[in-house]
Structure 1
């Protein structure tokens, strides 16, 4: 990666921002979708999937269950607002993410629920109630 800070001493101060912007343009990952960080916790009764996604609303998310694959997605459209003044710097980017998780047959798919609070999307995947089958003695004829 180019050390633009070292170059600041060799160019006039007014060019410093240009070097930084060029460095970010060529070396930052601005072209790909982001992957939202996920934590998964198991309790006695459920699995909990926590997706870190601050600054959104619950209506922004799409959660689907298709053939035992839980799909979580969000797509943010780039806003084009016109306001008075001239932007000196605009770092808002188009961002989206998609995550998929294959569920096993221990999940009660009819009882899955989700909440979005304080930037965390929490999806609860309740486990099916397991009943121990009674042992049956087989008599030998």
Structure 2
């Protein structure tokens, strides 16, 4: 026999149901009004590997080419951005601000196959594209060794 229990509560909105289920759970930051700040902390990155190179595409709209700093320390490639807030002119009142582009920092560990001397970057249409060419593999000569 199956027993089904019904609650006699009025219908709730999605937000009301979400709050009932998760309360003060850390995932709530995805649904609050400051979610923009959470997602802007780390921009999404696509990484594609081909036989000749790795290609990284970092989605970072709203920046200038001069805002980016790309550093290589050992095997760590670090991409960082620092952008100053635009000041609101005196007499203007900001009613709502839904987007802001501040700063971020992403680091990637490179393997020994990357030719660090040939890394190049290009920023266009809100996407920072880095090409990390691979070193040419040394051809290992096949040789049969005779036993004397």
- TM-score range for the pair, normalised by the shorter chain length: 0.7 to 0.9
Contact 2:36 2:98 in 1 (8 A): no
Q: Out of 103, 107, 111, which is 1:104 matched to?
A: 111
Q: CA RMSD in A?
A: 2.3
- Separation of aligned partners in 2, 1:35 and 1:48: 18
What SS class does the counterpart of residue 62 from structure 2 fall into?
coil
Aligned equivalents of 2:61, 2:50: Cα separation in 1 = 25
Query: Among 9, 24, 29, which residue is 2:33 paired with?
Result: 24
Match of 1:35 among 4, 19, 42: 42
* Equivalent of residue 96 in structure 2, options 85, 89, 101: 89
- Of 86, 94, 97 in structure 2, the residue corresponding to residue 79 of structure 1 is 86
Residue correspondence of structure 1 range 1-141 to structure 2 within 5 A: 3=16, 24=33, 28=35, 30=37, 34-93=41-100, 95-141=102-148
Q: What secondary structure is seen at the aligned counterpart in 2 of 1:88?
A: coil
Using the size of structure 2 for normalisation, the TM-score is 0.70
